[in-house]
Structure 1
Amino acid sequence: MDSYRSYGDAELVDLLKSGDEAAFSQIYKRHWHPLYHHAIKMVKDEDEATDVVQEVFTALWSKSEHIKLNSSLSYYLHSCVRNYVLNLFNREKIRTNYLDNLQHTLNKGSSFTDETLMRKELSTIIEYQISLLPEKMRKVFELSRNSHLSHKEISMELAISEETVKKQIYNALKILRLKLTSLFSVVLTLFFYLFFHF
């Protein structure tokens, strides 16, 4: 392990592409702090910056065999952090715009009588959050929600136990509730009733 300290980034990347965990560990140790400081300058929050860097390294490992560097590893990783943060900012902009529109509707004294419109707006945001679920969990959830398959049918379709199906659906709903709470706060209960009425 100590021998990896003497390797340059290019050598470590070559080893990483072959699934070398020690190479990944050395890259992590070498670049974590610079990336963290880069992230915190952008997001101004320690926990958020930590999450950003962790996501970047998770992606680096999961996609290691497909990495193609046109510049230094440091530049590549800093670009990944910047792009991830920009995506966060875009999501925040979407959230803010949605809440502004919702507040405007409430200020006008409108009630939620136009259920079709509300479903359409809500559906767009929920579908986006569903797309962010882990692949296996998302597949189970969509088979239950979109294809209306029973736990047993999903179990047979994906060759997993019914208990796993139940757990994946439970976890998916838990994740979605947590994420959507920050988006909809007070109106969350009503929206879940309208959209997730199993």
Structure 2
Amino acid sequence: MKQHPYSGDESLWLDFQSGSELALTQLMDQYIEPMTYYGRKLSRNDDLIQDCIQETFIEIWQYRQSLKALQEIRPYLLTCLRRKIGKAIKKDNHISLEENPPTLTFELDFSIEDRLVKNEEETQRLQELNRHINSLSKRRKEIIYLKFYQNLSNEEIAQIMGVRYQTATNLLHEAISSLRELIPSKSILSLLYTWGYLFAH
């Protein structure tokens, strides 16, 4: 496993803002993969996703000294990527950005067929959960992904999705409540965290 000199986001970001190429390298090593995973949930165009990720790093490096201090880097990068993909899709579709601010829908379904779970009963429950997650609206599906796969706080999710904190909290509550109605289980949260863990490993 590759060793990184920075153990925390705050010191990594401070050195990045100071112009450390080592810090930039670590940022890219740590976050290109989660950015790619998230980008693929917003677009099926891999070239567009990689271009947007590259442009994100170029821009934050170029304007690093004017960026605000950060304690958590990942939510900030996912927010930047989401906006950039939205703009790129609008541009590709020849839609005016001034008249139509970039909006995105969560495009892809989830599959757990290639994820091994030893317990047969748990496998069946996870397959059922996965099926019901895929039946949710795209916004609810996205917030489940951000909460249980990316393991983000409600505040960070609100930042990424471009909504108010209370809106994100309500949307998450609605998504979980919908799943609880479909899967009568007192351990729905535990099941969701297991589902998220499978996709992260």
- Report 1 or 2 for greater relative contact order, CA contacts < 8 Å, sequence distance ≥ 6: 2
TM-score normalised according to structure 1 size: 0.44
Structure number, greater radius of gyration: 1
TM-score normalised according to structure 2 size: 0.43
| Higher helix residue share | 1
